[in-house]
Amino acid sequence: MSAHDPRRVVEDLRDHLAAHDRRLAFLFGAGTSSAVNVASPPAPGAKPEHKPIIPGVVDLTAMCAAAVSKMGNAHSGAWKSMIKQCEKNGRTANVENVLSQVRLKMDAIGDGETLVGLDRLQLIEVEKTICSTIADVVSPADNIISQRMPHHDFADWAKKVSRTAPLEIFTTNYDVLLERAFEASGVPVFDGFVGILHPFFYPECLEDEDLLPKPQWIRLWKLHGSVNWVLKVVESVGAKRKRIIRVQPTKSGELILPSHRKYDESRKQPYMAYMDRLSRMLSAQHALLITCGYSFGDEHINAILYGALDNCNTANIISLQFGDLKETDELVKAAIHRPNLTVIGPNGAVISGVLGTWQLSEPVDAKTSSFMDAAFDSNALPEDEGSPAAASADLKGTMRLGDFNWLCQFLKAMGPGIQ
Q: Enumerate residues 6+ apart whose C-beta is below 8 A from 252.
A: 131, 132, 135, 230
- The vertex-254 CA angle with 249 and 32, nearest 5°, equals 55
Contact between 114 and 126 (Cβ < 8 Å): no
Rounded Cα distance between 297 and 272, Å, is 18
Q: Mutual orientation of helices 73-88 and 120-137 as an angle, nearest 10°? A: 80
Phi-psi region of 330 (alpha: psi -120 to 50; beta: other; left: phi over 0): alpha
Rounded Cα distance between 346 and 368, Å, is 19
415 pLDDT exceeds 70? no
Q: CA distances (Å), 370 to each of 77, 120, 219, 375, in order?
A: 55, 59, 30, 10
419 pLDDT exceeds 60? no
318 pLDDT exceeds 80? yes
Q: Enumerate residues 6+ apart whose C-beta is below 8 A from 92.
A: 86, 297
3-state secondary structure of 364: coil
Residues 394, 396, 398, 400, Cα dihedral to 10°: 70
Nearest in space to 103 (alpha carbons), one of 128, 136, 76, 133:
128
pLDDT tens-digit profile of 203-220?
Answer: 998 988 889 999 889 999
pLDDT tens-digit profile of 155-168?
Answer: 999 998 888 888 99
For 330-401, strand residue ranges (E) read 341-344, 348-351, 354-358, 376-378, 397-399
pLDDT tens-digit profile of 230-263?
Answer: 988 877 777 788 889 999 988 888 888 776 655 5
Give me the percent of the chain exceeding a pLDDT of 90.
61
Average pLDDT over residues 74-102: 92
327 pLDDT exceeds 50? yes
Sign of CA dihedral 145, 297, 326, 360: negative
Whole-number pLDDT of residue 387: 54
Given pLDDT bands bounded at 50, 70 and 90, which one contains residue 385? Answer: low
pLDDT tens-digit profile of 104-145?
Answer: 899 888 888 999 999 999 999 999 999 999 999 999 988 887
